[in-house]
Amino acid sequence: MKAVVIESYGGKDQLVEKEVPAPVLGNKQVIIKSEATSINPIDWKLREGYLKNDMDWKFPIILGWDIAGVITETGSEVTDWHVGDKVFARPDTTRFGTYAEYVAVDDYLLAKKPENISYAAAASVPLAGLTAYQALFDHGKLEKGQTVLIQGGAGGVGTFAVQFAKAVGAKVITTASKKNHELLKKIGADETIDYHEENFAEKLSDIDLIFDTIGGDVQKESFKIAKKHTGRIVTIVGPADPDLSEKYDVALESIWLNPDGKQLQKIADWIEKRIVTPVIGASFPFSQQGLQDAHALSETHHAVGKIVITF
């Protein structure tokens, strides 16, 4: 089958198209023929070699951890899924990722693709959507009536977080460049802050939850505006500083996404009810050039919503 792989760490030119063996099907897995995948910053962070201590994999590595497509084979112990089912998933983090025509995925990670969106839109959801969901609800304990600040609302994770927070009845404040404010208001932001012009830490106070998708000084400054004692910060761009947590009396968690098909199904239900709509900022074809261009865009740190790859 065709895949786009890396055979050593480095720049986007390391992404090369190759014929590779088809995936091997496990007993509790299905094979999905891919219709679409999406780009996440982990793809180019891994490509550069920044994560090699955590993910010490052999080459070639197939990057990509989002898929939407059709099941073509099921393992001997799979009971809930059938050939022909239209599905999407955040596959397990292995070196056999989703920049490939066929991918083996564990059955517990699958969810039914929402009927009302394209495969491309579906492929934009799993990694970013599950991250936003777990940050806000499993870790952030966000509830109706609370105020949440989403740092980086215009990004892949941020555009889901804004919509999820709105869906449960929270007051949503978010930081983004001015050009993205109209979009963010449309998808549910009550207040937008242009971080180029205004200092959020001088403008806001008493925030129940800050969801940090940016890190660095943005994370550090966030402590100043969280509610003392009950306020919390959830970051997906650690490391987090426990001293600041203690100094400001604000809970702090640095999290990693935990792939989960059941939770993805809840997001799919919101999408089918039109409570949530994926925001696709750019689309590229599945090819060496398409993946290289998609990585270049993601690496700008200013992509809007999600970048998808169609097969």
Ligand X SMILES: NC(=O)c1ccc[n+]([C@@H]2O[C@H](COP(=O)([O-])OP(=O)(O)OC[C@H]3O[C@@H](n4cnc5c(N)ncnc54)[C@H](OP(=O)(O)O)[C@@H]3O)[C@@H](O)[C@H]2O)c1
Residues that bind ligand X in the complex, under the rule CB under 6 A: 40-42, 128, 131, 151-152, 154-158, 175-177, 180, 195, 213-214, 218, 236-237, 255-257, 298, 301-304
CB of 253 to ligand X, least distance (A): 11
- Six-digit token pair at 103? 């991918």
- Give residue for tokens 């010490």: 56
User: In angstroms, what is the minimal distance from the CB of 224 to ligand X?
Assistant: 16
For 177-232, where are the alpha helices, taking DSSP H only? 181-186, 200-203, 216-222
Nearest distance from residue 216's CB to ligand X, in Å?
Answer: 8
Question: What is residue 96's three-state secondary structure?
Answer: strand
In order of 117, 150, 156, the CA distances from 293 in angstroms are: 24, 28, 17
The CB-nearest residue to ligand X is 155
Residue nearer to ligand X on the CB measure, 4 or 240: 240
**Nearest to residue 69, comparing CAs of 95, 30, 20, 43?**
30
Closer residue to ligand X (CB): 144 or 301: 301
Closest approach, Cβ 278 to ligand X, in A, equals 12
CA distance 55 to 92: 12
Gap between the Cα atoms of 230 and 239, Å rounded: 21
Nearer to ligand X, 21 or 216 (CB): 216
- Nearer CB in complex with ligand X: 87/303: 303
**Complex with ligand X: residue 71 or 240, whichever CB lies closer:** 240
| Nearest-approach distance from CB 129 to ligand X, in angstroms | 10
